[in-house]
Amino acid sequence: MKNLETNYPNTWCPGCGNFGILQAFKSIIDDKNKTVIVTDIGCNSKIADYINVNSFYSLHGRPIPTASGIKMANQKLDVVVFTGDGGSLNEGISHLIHAAKKNSDITVILHNNRLFALTTGQYTASSPKGFKGKSTPQGNFEEPLNTLELMMASKASFIARTYSSKIDHMKKIINEAINHKGFSFVEILQPCVSFLNNIQFYNERVYEIDEPKSIEESIKLIKEWNYNGDSKIPLGIFYREKRVCFEEEINKIANV
């Protein structure tokens, strides 16, 4: 039996979507020794304390370069980043874009709760327009980023979206992402029960897609929901391609 428990007291809010993500991830770990999780700072990143696998609890915004460095050092490891919209769409967005472009052979799981939660509710690049946070009491006037569109433009070789209330869907998607050779990006829509509880909004709109067969179809599905509007919200794998990986190529040059 793999012992994945740390017995560390869990401090997520009751009903938080993170519990589902933790459960889904634990269930798909097949080789504990070769798994490394690299986390940001924020509610999502507390997962490092809650799961007994190799972990590097990185700085805010920086888990992605840390993860690439780990992969460069040992290509046999499965390196999985847990980050949030605050960590990787705000503080560390450059690292997200460049790791995708390099096709760094890591998996990035972005818990998108669409605000800074641990700092008690400020807007991020993913917050809905009009969001009233503590730094925007009159309402956020910026348009939210379409995360998947950003990843498509950044040349991510695997792009997927899932939802924290759908455990089986998360398991399937995360497993596919980890098995993908190259940069895999998984956005998990995750309601924040304390500051932005959009469970009902998501429940009414999400639907599962079949994997698109053309890039045109991928782009169409990625654009279906603009993170503001009232449209349906597609879940699933939107795009996948085979491309040379950053760490493998660099290590090849060094002949290591």
Partner 1 sequence: MKDFTILVGGQAGQGSRKAGLIIAKIFNQMGYNIFIHEDYQSLIKGGHNFSIVRVSEKEFLTHRNNLDFILALDNETFLKHENKLNKKGLIIFNSKKTKTEKGIGLDIDQMVKDLSCPLIMGNIAMISSFAKSVGVEWSILEKVLKNELNREIEKNLLIAKKAYSETNQFIKIEKLKTKKSNLLTGNEAIALGAVDAGLEIYSAYPMTPATSILHYLADNSKKFKVSVSQAENEISAINFVIGSSYAGKRSMTATSGGGFALMTEGISLGAQAEVPVLVVNSQRSGPATGVPTYGGQSDLLFSLASGHGDFVRFVASPGDANEAYYLSGVLLNLAWKYQSPTILLTDKELSESTFEFNPEKKNKKEKELLWDKKGEYKRYSQSKNGISPLAFPGTSAVVKSTSYEHDEKGLSAEDSDLVVLMQNKRLRKFEEMKKEIDKLEAVKVYGNKKSNKAIICWGSVKGSAKEAVEELGIKLIQPLFLQPFPIKQMKKALKGVNKLISVECNSTGQLAEVLKGQGIKVDKQILKYDMRPFTSEDLVLKLKKI
Q: Does 55 bind partner 1 (CB under 8 A)?
A: yes
Rounded to a whole number of angstroms, the minimum distance from the CB of residue 181 to partner 1 is: 18
Q: Does 255 bind partner 1 (CB under 8 A)?
A: yes
User: With contact defined as beta carbons under 8 Å apart, do 227 and 128 qualify?
Assistant: yes
In angstroms, the first-to-last Cα distance of the chain is 34
Kindly identify the residues of this chain, within the stretch 57-96, that bind partner 1 according to CB under 8 A.
57-59, 62, 65-74, 76-77, 94-95
* CB closer to partner 1, 154 vs 218: 154
Kindly identify the residues of this chain, within the stretch 91-110, that bind partner 1 according to CB under 8 A.
94-95, 97-98
How many residues sit in the footprint of partner 1 (CB under 8 A)?
Answer: 44
| Tokens (6 digits) for 37 | 């999780």
Q: Does 12 bind partner 1 (CB under 8 A)?
A: no
Rounded to a whole number of angstroms, the minimum distance from the CB of residue 216 to partner 1 is: 30
List C-alpha distances in Å: 91 to 1, 82, 219.
38, 14, 26
User: With contact defined as beta carbons under 8 Å apart, do 186 and 109 qualify?
Assistant: yes
Rounded to a whole number of angstroms, the minimum distance from the CB of residue 148 to partner 1 is: 21
Rounded to a whole number of angstroms, the minimum distance from the CB of residue 156 to partner 1 is: 15
Q: Does 154 bind partner 1 (CB under 8 A)?
A: no
Among 16, 29, 38, 192, binds partner 1 (CB under 8 A): 38
- Matching residue, tokens 């956005």: 187
What's the CA gap between 253 and 236, in Å, rounded?
A: 36
Rounded to a whole number of angstroms, the minimum distance from the CB of residue 13 to partner 1 is: 17
Residues with Cβ within 8 Å of residue 201, at least 6 apart in sequence: none
User: With contact defined as beta carbons under 8 Å apart, do 148 and 187 qualify?
Assistant: yes
Segment interacting with partner 1, rule: CB under 8 A, options 47-55, 130-138, 169-177, 206-214: 47-55
User: With contact defined as beta carbons under 8 Å apart, do 133 and 113 qualify?
Assistant: no
119-163-157-101 Cα dihedral, nearest 10 degrees: -10
DSSP secondary structure letter of residue 45: G
Contacting positions for partner 1 (CB under 8 A) = 6, 8, 32-34, 36, 38, 41, 46, 48-49, 52-59, 62, 65-74, 76-77, 94-95, 97-98, 246-247, 250-251, 253-256
